[in-house]
Amino acid sequence: MSSTLQLAFLLGDGIGPEIVSAAVEVAKAALQMETIETEWQELPVGQIAIDEFGQAVPNQTLDVLEQVDGWILGPHDSASYPEPYLSQLNPSGSIRKHFDLFANIRPAKHFPETEALCPGTDLVIVRENTEGFYADRNTHQGTGEFMPTPDVAIAMGIITRQAVERIAHVGFQLAMQRRKKLTVVHKANVLKLTTGLFRDVCYEIAALYPEVTVDDFHIDAVTVHLLRRAPEFDVLVTENMFGDILSDMTGQLAGSLGIAPSINASANRAMAQAAHGSAPDIAGQGLANPIAMMLSTAMLLEWLSEQKQNPALLRAANLITESITQVVSAGTSTPDMGGSASTTEFASAVVSMILTKP
């Protein structure tokens, strides 16, 4: 194995090229400061891949991803794809499914001295990524949706003990590194068998982490509690669709969906991916907030640090996070956070902050 870190990036659609390029620029600066030799590869995905290869996620892209240490995925605008691509699994779901990236980890943290609906928010949504009620990801073949007649549409929701156990371990291990509080989110009062199994298995795994305080809420109730007292929550573990909805909400509670990062991980692979979408209405205008993509990249480096037992990667990740925080605290931010900096101006400010550190 080469000692050189092998990373890839996929620009995606809409604002993807702007924010991914910004994240790569910032990551290169941080890795340079830690003298970590890195090779980067750009890979096609989304509309550009459809135009060139006739596939939203070409086999050539998947082949390279098999070989690299990790990668950054830009947002996709699959709603605008022509058929048959519109009806197929979207690029993000396709890549997650191909590599069994079962854990979607989505922090929501308020930046000091910035506006937020819930100042002081600092929590993490741990979302099971392979089952639940997203029918495009929970079956071996097909989409999990079918229509027995033109007027009836049915979707399957699937929960298995194995999947819940592994996502619960991720959540509890994360809680042990944070404030040792974990909340299980479910809807067992109505979906008694499926989300009831999710809740019950999480409590079984809780016995292995006696230092963690555990509670649980129904999905509808937890939205109210988050609106009222988000800073009191630490780690929330839930199924696929609930986690997707909650993480958008908590990102906005912390200040902006543009600051909401995430990684998608398995036991041995990870992909950085901002929690937000491709925002085609502002694409190419320099208005996009690159913070979520930058923080997602920092999360990827932190994950790789643990995998490779390389503290320099953790230092690089912390350098990115600290520099973003300092730039925002100094008054530079994009319009969604009340500032006037363009995407590239904000990225340049973060790079400058990184390169001036001792």
User: Tokens 């197929």 belong to which residue?
Assistant: 88
Reference 64, options 82, 89, 41, 46; nearest CA is 41
Q: What strands, in cross-sheet order, belong to the sheet with 263-265?
A: 38-42, 5-10, 70-73, 270-272, 263-265, 103-109, 122-128, 235-238, 181-186, 213-218
Residue tagged active-site, from 69, 77, 234, 244: 244
Residues in the chain: 358
Q: Active site includes 281? A: no
Q: Active site includes 203? A: no
**What's the rounded Cα separation, in Å, for the pair 293 and 22?**
8
Distance of CA 277 to the CA centre of its chain: 11
Residue tagged active-site, from 63, 192, 203, 220: 220
DSSP string of 253-316, one letter each residue: HTT-GGG---EEE-SS-EEE--SS---GGGTTTT----HHHHHHHHHHHHHHHHHHT-HHHHHH
Q: Active site includes 220? A: yes
Reference 222, options 180, 182, 258; nearest CA is 182
43 exposure class (CB count in 10 Å sphere: 0-12, 13-18, 19+)? buried
Residue tagged active-site, from 13, 69, 234, 248: 248
DSSP state of 335: G
Q: Active site includes 151? A: no
Residue tagged active-site, from 81, 85, 134, 209: 134
Residue tagged active-site, from 13, 77, 187, 234: 187
How do beta strands 181-186 and 70-73 pair?
unpaired
Q: Active site includes 244? A: yes
- The residues that are catalytic are 134, 187, 220, 244, 248
